[in-house]
Every structure is written in structure tokens, then in C-alpha cells.
Structure 1
Amino acid sequence: MVDPVRLRERMVRDQIQARGVTDERVLAAMRELPRHLFVEEALAYKAYSDGPLPIGEGQTISQPYIVALMSELLQVEPGMKVLEIGTGSGYQAAVLAHMGAEVYTVERIKKLFHAARKRFMDMRMFSVKLKLDDGTLGWPEEAPFDRIIVTAGGPTVPAPLVDQLADPGRMLIPVGASRRSQSLVLVEKRDGRVEQTDKGGVAFVDLVGSHGW
């Protein structure tokens, strides 16, 4: 395998900065995190390519640019409490943790949950807390959250997640009436009001659960 440090630098320069992401903490996290450790060994050579990759159980690790875009739009500051719905490989949670967030992440698929937990332990990323559960219900015992990020697409914004969002707070979630084709929606809560802004088209795996598909 070519030097992963050089591959990460090229990924950040050509895929992320070239498309307009400028948040230095996002760029630093993605330069430094070994993305190839978040995919199956047989796919490690594709880890820094410009696209999503399968991680098993019908799930994917998102395209690097999408991870960077969502991380930037979330406007995470060090010390913030962030809820992630859909742990998957753990890469998005790792980026947010590297940016200084205290991350709570929920995964519904047992195999992926255990793999991600081991990965975080091996990497000594103790600021990430994991839960095996229906992510559309959030993590009520730990609410409220300064930020919420959902890495799967559902038909609507789950009401429990809006309830668990702090005021002020920001949430990013793919929403769409058809599966695998959604709009990335920014949900902002401020002074008791909730506003939604469409941030463009995306394609995520299905958000499955009581408030999903």
C-alpha cells in the first residue's frame, strides 16, 4: 500500500478542500485519522478513494467529502456533546471526537456495534460512548445534545431527536420520500423555534427504526 499519510493529504486536498470545505479542525482530523483502519482489510487500498465503501451488513462508510461536509456544517466546538445516529464503521464519530467533541453514538446492528467498539478501544478513543439500540429513539438518558448527526436517510426528521436537541442546537439528517435519495437537512433549534434548511442532495443507507423506514 502507498504511504497512507500521503494518501490522506491527497484526499483532503483533492476531494475535500477542492470542493470548498475550509474548517481547519475538520481538515486536520481527516489528515490524521487512519481511514484505512475503518474498512475491511481487503478494501484498505480503496479507503482514500472518492466514494463510499461497503462495511458489511448492507452498510457503508461515507464518501470522505460527505464526512467532511457534514462535520463542517455541524459547527462542532471542543467540549460539545454530540449524538450520532448510525455508528457504522465509527469513522464519522472518530472525526468528531478528534475535533474535541464528546461523542455518543448509537448503532442498531450488533456486528457493527462490536467492531466499532473494539476499534475505538484499540485506538484509545475513550471520548466516544457507544450504545446498541434503535437510533431513531436517540439516547434520552444523556440528552440534551449540543449537536446531532444522523448518518442514514429516513422519510422524516424523528421527533425524539428534535426533543433531545439542545437549545440552541444543530442537527444534520438526510431526509427523503424515496430510499437512497435524500436531501441533507440542517435542523436548527433556537429560542424554542425549530427551523429546517435544505443543504442539497445526498444518498445514504436507510434509517431503520421506530421513526425511520
Structure 2
Amino acid sequence: MNERPGPNHYLAAAEFVLMLRQNGLHDVRVLRAMEQVPRVPFLDQRWFRLADEDITLPIGCGQSILQPSLTGAMIAALGVEAGHRVLQVGTGSGYAAAILGRLAATVVTVERWRTLADEAHARLRGLGYDMIEGVFGDGLDGYPPRAPYDRILVTCAIEAIPPGLWSQLAPTGVLVAPIGSGPGPQDIVRAEKGPEGPLLTPFTKARVEPAMAGTARRL
């Protein structure tokens, strides 16, 4: 998809949405948001030609931007509504945060790599996403100053939901995260609060980069 409307933009956008539908994404609001957020501005120039492919691509600091169908599936599982406050753990390039910004009232996105956090902040501000607050920090700790959150999206793999992060989820909130360890694919899980703890519903599998505790200033 082109960064700005041009002769081929709308055709490319339609083909992108068709690809997402063919890969199992049917949530109309999420499809519309992803149609409005081309991946090109969130990629290094050498990957522009692959922006509309349903593949994971590198973004720097040894990290990656997830394939669009997985990003869409995870966001769809959140069930974000217009008035929601959303926390995202793992900003990366800012692509998922931008999609969330099209759906929610406010978004807080936390990134452990200072380089990625700074780049994503500048990128999102330049694209007009003023409803998104970028934070440099350990996303596994969440971001207590803006809690509670109606929805939490974790875009890196965790072995279990950190108690501190879970405590920042509203009583009727939903958390979506890849859960599992080891070299194989993780379960992508939708978690809701229950009387005896999280109610976990796996809905797909994928290989996602593991979360790392702490922060890293530069690479």
C-alpha cells in the first residue's frame, strides 16, 4: 500500500484487505482500521516492496513487525471499543499502536528499546496519532500512571501473564498475548478476569519474539 493516496493506492488497499480476509480476518472495524494504516511508514525503505505481504519483517534492534494477519487477529480478539483505554506492550515500529489508535479513545504503548521507542514516537506524532502516548520502559511492568486499562495487547511472547500487568487490567477488561516458551510457536491467548484468576482462551498459534525484562537504551 502506498503511504499517500495516488493512482494505485486504493487498488492496493483493496487488495490488502482482500488478503487479510482470505487469511481469516473478518472483523469489519479492524479491517477498516488496517486499510487506513499502510505499513510503509513503519518500515525501513528496503522493505517497502514487501509492505503488503503477509510476512514478518525486521525493524531494527533485532526486533520485527508481525505479519498483518496476526496483528489483525490479535487486535480483533481484544474487541476494542471507541471509548476504551488500551495498553500495548512492545511498541516496535508503532504499527499495531497506530491501528489501535483508529479504534480506541487512547493508547499507551511501551517499548524497552530506547531507539525503537524514540523512532516510533516521532513517527506516530508525524502521522497525527496524538491519542497515542509512547513510553520508554519495561512493558512487562505495564504503565501504572494510566491504569486501569480496558484492553491490553502484548505483542511479544511471555511465559505467563505478569501479576503487575494483570493488576492494571480493568475488572471487565481483556488481555491478548502470545503465551509459551521454547523454540516452537506459542498459543495466542485471549484472557478475561474470572473469580479465580485469568480465564484463558487460545485462538491461534504463531512464532513471536520472546519478551525481555528491563530496558535497553541503544543498539
Alignment TM-score > 0.5, same fold: yes
Deviation at 1:190, TM superposition (A): 4.7
Are the equivalent residues in 2 in contact too, given 1:180–1:206 (CA < 8 A)? Answer: no
Q: Is the 8 A contact 2:85 2:104 kept in 1?
A: no
Please report how far the alpha carbon of residue 165 of structure 1 lies from its aligned counterpart in structure 2 after TM superposition: 0.6
Distance 2:79 2:48 in 1: 29
Q: Matched residues in 1 for 2:41 and 2:197: separation?
A: 41
* Normalised TM-score (structure 2): 0.90
Structure 1 residue aligned with 2:5: none
Residues 161-208 of structure 1, C-alpha deviations (whole Å, 9 max, x = no match): 111110101000101121462111111015675211111211111101
Runs of 5+ consecutive residues of structure 1 not aligned to the other structure: none
Structure 2 gap ranges (5+): 3-7, 215-219
Q: Which residue of 1 aligns with 2:44?
A: 40
Percent of matched pairs sharing the same residue: 34
| One-letter identity of the residue aligned with 2:147 | A
Answer with 95-104 or 184-193: which moved more: 184-193
Aligned residue number for residue 9 of structure 1 = 14
Mark the CA change 1:149 to 1:45 in structure 2 (over 3 Å): closer, same or farther: same
* 1:95 matched to 2:89: no
Q: What is the correspondence of 1:73-112 to structure 2 with a 5 Å cutoff?
A: 73-112=77-116
TM-score, normalising length: structure 1 = 0.92
Q: 1:138 aligns with which of 117, 122, 142?
A: 142
Q: Which aligned pairs between 1:38-187 and structure 2 lie closer than 5 A? A: 38-179=42-183, 181-187=185-191
RMSD: 1.7
SS where residue 181 of structure 2 aligns?
Answer: strand
Q: How many residues get paired? A: 209
Post-superposition CA distance 1:103-157 (Å, at most 9, x none): 0000000110011001011111000001100110000111110000000002211
- Report what 1:21 is aligned to: 25
The structure carrying a bigger helix percent of its residues is: 1
Shift >2 Å, 4+ stretches? 1-8, 190-194
